[in-house]
Each structure stands twice: as structure tokens, then as C-alpha cells.
A = this chain, B = another copy of it.
Amino acid sequence: MTEYILLGFLMEKDMTGYDMKQHMSMSTSYFVDASFGSIYPSLKRLNNKGFVALKETIENGKLKKTYSINEQGKVEFLKWLSSPIMVSRTDISSALEKIFFFRYLPHEQSIFLIEQCIHDIDRYKNSLLELKNKVDHEADPFGLCTLDFGIDCYDFAMHWCEEYLINKMR
């Protein structure tokens, strides 16, 4: 969800909504890319919930709202970050939302979450393999193709987590 990405950005430094949009396009855009129509209401909500503070200034005649994360916001962000990575379907890239911010988590916890994630993906992959066995004879070639893609996709994600990510972290 966008709100957590914005909180994550504020962990690094104070920013305006406009800054965050810019920052997004240079960092998370290939897996999360929110519009202003989503960013500004999110910031308002974060403020209402008491997770951020804002400082209004006037620069070059323009109103500027600079947001900063507070203690409560940090607690909320780390609570989200340390909760299990949910991977349903082959839309694996949703996992990137958390991995992107793993520098804010203790090393062992990051590794634990990734291993848990690998385990979940393995379960999904096995359920697809079962499905394939069931429909192998009746399904049409393209249906089987997409099934194979699903299986290969889970495989790719698992190997990437294991061989690339975990190895790089140790």
C-alpha cells in the first residue's frame, strides 16, 4: 500500500509530496508508482493517523508542505516491514515493496522473512504442479503454457531469493 512506501521514504529524509513522486520514479516505479491523486490523500491520512508531522513554508511564493516521520510512524512502518511478505499469485513483485526497505530491519530478521517467503512460494509452486497433473490431458496448449509460466515464475523467484539475495546478504 502506498502509505507504507511513503513512510519508508520519510525514514531517509523529510520530503514534500512532490519530492516523493520524483523519488518514486527513480526508485520504486517499476513495482509501485502512485499518482498525485493517491499520494496527497495518503499523506493527509498519515497525518490524521499521527504518523507524520508537517511543516508549512513558503518558498518563491509557493506553499510547500514538508513531511517528516515521527516515532509512532516509525513504529508503524517497522511493524509493517517485519510482518510476513505476502505472495499470492504470480505477481511476485509485490514482495519487492518490503525488500526495498530491508535496510531498516536487522539482518537476521530480513533473512528470516525471505526464507519464509521462499517457503510460501514453494507451496504455491507445488499447488500449481498438482493443478498441472490434474488438467494435463484436457487443457488446451495455451492454458498449459500459462500454467508453465506460473510454475517457472515461482521457480525464478525462489532461485532469485536463494541464490542471489540470501547469498548477497551473508
A→B interface (CB under 8 Å) = 26-31, 33, 89-93, 96, 99-103, 124, 128, 131, 134-135, 139-143, 145-150, 152-153, 156, 160, 164-165, 168
Contacts and interface: CB of A to CB of B under 8 A. Distances in A.
A143 to B, nearest CB: 6
A141 B90 CA distance: 25
A66 B12 CA distance: 56
Contact of A152 (B139, B148, B160): B160
B93 A142 contact: no
A100 B142 contact: yes
Nearest to A148: B164
A168 B64 CA distance: 56
A139 B26 CA distance: 10
Contacts of A31: 89-91, 146, 150
B99 A142 contact: yes
B103 A141 contact: yes
A156 B157 CA distance: 10
A29 to B, nearest CB: 8
A96 B90 contact: yes
9 contacts: A26-B134, A31-B90, A31-B150, A90-B92, A91-B91, A99-B146, A103-B140, A145-B168, A153-B156
Contacts of A101: 142
A26 B101 CA distance: 35
Given A103-B141, A142-B99, A150-B31, A131 B90 contact: no
A8 B124 CA distance: 25
